[in-house]
Amino acid sequence: MAIRDDFEVVAGQVRAGIQRFALGLLVLAAFGAMLVGKADTVLVEHARVLALDLASPVLEAIARPVAVANRAIADLREFASLREENARLREENARLLAWQTAARRLENENEGLRGLANFREGPEASFITARIVGDSVSAYVRGALLNVGRKAGVAPGQAVVTGEGLAGRIAEVGENSARVLFVTDVNSRLPVLIERTRERAILAGDNSPQLRLTLLQSVAGVQRGDRIITSGHGGSFPVGIPVGEVVETSEGHVRVRPFADFSRLEFVRVVDYGVTGLVGAPAPPPPAPSAASGQRVKP
């Protein structure tokens, strides 16, 4: 009897102690999680992928109502500017038709010249179409969640494109889900070419809607309106995917507006170029953020 009473007293003391230090313990646990996350990036990577795989069915379920809501909002906005939009599109159509003629002529000419020069194409790219089921857009990250994963052939480092141009790269891959890191994210570094001058540069995101062009040999050569395309350096991206155009050049700062409209993405294509294994190699411009490349160097 006495032993039981003693036990209950001790248990009560322990319980009171835990309650008194509950806040401290919880704070410690949170710091512990942060430290573990910093120390063991592979573990965190696995946890992230697991969380994504668990969350993606729920997100798929709510994707439809969210899409309806988005469409309603877009309808309301577009209704206001229908007339101007129509005029603009008609003008653009006329211009594009002219370009189409030019492109056909050039394509024929290019093909002929390649035949003459015995030119060898790079690996053939194939596409995986995916629906965006989640945004990971906050004040600190620019990205999205796709409903395709390893099962569909998605691998880290692959390019993600829209109809207009490059959107980003695959950062993490689960069984049935993947996370895209947009080119606008602060972790994004992309080897690019300036289309007109064929000059190489690195396009960096800083979480703002516009991108920063860095490591230019000569800033003076860049003009407003210059198109920026992927250079294919680093191996995982095909050459020549349009990324954006220069909108501002002022004392060493070159700002680029991406072609992809991140505010209305619904479907994207993942480009499987077949050589993603090269990204982990120590290429001069590190094209992948640390977390993504860390996963890929595994044998």
Residue numbers at the binding site for another protein (CB under 8 A): 22-23, 26-27, 29-34, 36-38, 44, 47-48, 51-52, 55, 58-59, 62-63, 66, 69-70, 73-74, 132-145, 171, 181, 185-187, 206-208, 263-266, 289-292
* Closer residue to another protein, CB minimum distance, 85 or 111: 85
Least CB distance from residue 70 to another protein, whole Å?
Answer: 4
* Closer residue to another protein, CB minimum distance, 23 or 116: 23
* Closer residue to another protein, CB minimum distance, 142 or 233: 142
Least CB distance from residue 10 to another protein, whole Å?
Answer: 22
Least CB distance from residue 169 to another protein, whole Å?
Answer: 11
Distances (CA, A) of 95 to 88, 89, 100, 271: 11, 10, 9, 28
Least CB distance from residue 176 to another protein, whole Å?
Answer: 15
* Closer residue to another protein, CB minimum distance, 278 or 291: 291
* Closer residue to another protein, CB minimum distance, 69 or 97: 69
Q: Which of 147, 154, 111, 118 is nearest to 273 (CA)?
A: 154
Least CB distance from residue 44 to another protein, whole Å?
Answer: 6
